[in-house]
Each structure stands twice: as structure tokens, then as C-alpha cells.
Amino acid sequence: MGSLKVNLCGIELDNPVIPASGTFGYGYEFAELYDINELGTFSFKGTTKDPRFGNPTPRIAECTSGMINAVGLQNPGVEKVISEELPKLKQCFRKPVMANVSGFSVEDYAYTCEKLDKEEQVGWLEVNVSCPNVHGGGMSFGTQPEAAAEVTRAVKDVTTKPVIIKLSPNVTDIVSIAKACEDAGADGISLINTMLGMRINLRTRKPIIANKMGGFSGPAIFPVAVRMVYQVANAVSIPVVGMGGVSSAEDVIEMMLAGATAVEVGAANLVNPYICRDIVRDLPEVMAKYRINNLSEIIGGAK
């Protein structure tokens, strides 16, 4: 069997498959279904400085080849994640975990990352810059190179572990933002976060989601994600984590050929809770089919 191992920012993964933040909770719920140590790692639920109840319901709308969500970063806050969620995770997951962090100011990001950086279980900090900047008129940190770089620098100043900046696809030039993060000290880039979508109920003539718009994810966005991963991977020299509509071992291979070192699986977890385990188990057969002996050797192989 070929080697599935990859190295993400200095930490070796048994395989490149990572459940994406917001679709895998804090891990232990899925551990009731299968041994989650089969995964490369996973990115836990987006965590903020303070507890958040999230957006009003309804928060979910189905659509062709995907879904729209506007959960609103519901989480218990970083203090409780450290005191309650991580100890429960430690009982069922022996590998380093990826801590996903969100914030509404540069200070929020720095505070939460500094706290999580001290936790032994945390291997990487995945910093989601798709959040609205409360001091910047609500514009997402990830839509401007300067703002994304400011968050990156602030987090790097207070942490020792690899910092991976998660970028939004809702921009005109994602490459310039990725390069700004790299220049500011980012150890990696992950992309893409959800696109912006909306559904309307024909009977009520009102938006289905209470928040009106939400994050569009699922197989429909896969080609956009592959394109952006390819663009960013060819523009930066730090590792890229690819995601967006991934739902099979073949998709993982395609993402890696585009330049991804590791690949996150998001919405597919909500359809099939075993999907990441199944992808890991399917990879050797797909590798054999395409005469791949070592996954790490195909990264960025599409020219």
C-alpha cells in the first residue's frame, strides 16, 4: 500500500483527511460512531473569546448539490472549550487537534489564540478571518489584505504553534490576501470557507433563513475551491489546506494535485457522519488506480 502520510507545518499526519470546523463539533460525538483516530486530525468548532448563542432560527436551507447555513458561530466560549470540551476530547482522540478560532476584533483573535496555544492537545491554530470586523464597519477581516495581515501578525505575536489563516472566497483577489498573510508570518493558508448564498420560500415570499443570507457549501462549490487552492498554492511558499465541496477520495486527490497539503471535508459530514472515515479507507484503492505511491509527492502536481 502506498504512503498516505503528509507533513502539515512540521507535524506529520497519518493521512491528509481533516473534518472541517463546524461540521464535526469537538470530536467526541463522532467518536461514538467510529475511531476518530483514523483521521489525519480534525478542526474543531469555531471558538470565540466569549460564549455565543448564534443566529435566530431557521439557520439551514437546502439547495441543489449543497446547503446554506447561518449558524452564527454558536459556541461556549474559549474558557469552557478549554475546561470542558478539550478534556472530553482527550478521552477519545490521541492526536494533535486543529483549533479553529473566530473573532470580531484583532484583540479577540489574539486573546483566544493565546489561550488555545497553551493547550497540549492543540497542534495548529486555524484562524478564520471571514468574521465581520466590528471596528471596521462590519467588513470581514478576510476581504482586505491589510486587515488579514493585521490579524495574522497579532496572533503570531502571542503564539508558538503553527498558525493557518482560513480565507473567504467572497473576494475579488484571493491571491493578494493569501500573500499578505504569508508576509505577516502565517505558517499556512486554508481555503475556501463558504460562499455567500440565499434561498427564498415561494409560498411566503420571504428568505428561508432568518439571517436572510448564509454560507453556501457542498459539492456545487468544489470547482471554485479547486481553482482558488490552485491559485494560492502557486503564489505562496507555505502549505495550503484545501476544502470546499470535498466528498470523496477522488476529490482529495484532485485538491492535492491543485496544491493542497491536506484536505478538509465539511458539509459531507452532515450528510454522512462516516464520510471522512470512508474517504481515508478508500484512498489506497484510488491511489492504486492512478498509480500514486506517495500522496506527499503529488502535492501541486497539476501544472
Please name the amino acid found at residue 132: P
What pLDDT is attached to residue 148?
Answer: 96
Instruction: Please state which of the ranges 92-96, 103-107, 131-135, 256-260 shows the lowest mean pLDDT.
Output: 131-135
User: What dotted CATH number matches 6-298?
Assistant: 3.20.20.70
pTM over the 0.75 mark:
yes
Whether 131 is a known active-site residue: answer yes
- Per-residue pLDDT reduced to its tens digit, 261-285: 999 999 999 999 999 999 999 999 9
Residue 179's region, left for phi above 0, alpha for psi from -120 to 50, else beta, is: alpha
Please, is 193 exposed, middle or buried when counting C-beta atoms within 10 Å of its C-beta (0-12, 13-18, 19+)? buried
Q: Is the pLDDT of residue 133 over 60?
A: no
- Per-residue pLDDT reduced to its tens digit, 40-84: 999 999 999 999 998 999 999 999 999 999 998 999 999 999 999
Distance of CA 300 to the CA centre of its chain: 19
Q: Residue 138 — very low, low, confident or very high, per pLDDT cuts 50/70/90?
A: low
What pLDDT is attached to residue 168?
Answer: 93
What pLDDT is attached to residue 132?
Answer: 62
What pLDDT is attached to residue 107?
Answer: 96
Q: What is the dihedral of CA 303, 65, 99, 295, to 10 degrees?
A: -30
Catalytic residue among 9, 63, 92, 131: 131
Q: Mean pLDDT in the chain? A: 95
Phi, psi (degrees; rounded to nearest 5) at 115: -65, -50
The 10 Å CB-count burial string (b at 16+, else e) for 147-161 is bbbbbbbbbbeebeb
What pLDDT is attached to residue 13?
Answer: 98
Euclidean distance between CA atoms 258 and 223, whole angstroms: 11
Q: Where are the domains of the chain?
A: 6-298
What stretches of the chain show up as alpha helix (H) in DSSP? 28-31, 78-80, 86-90, 106-117, 145-157, 174-183, 222-233, 249-258, 268-271, 275-289
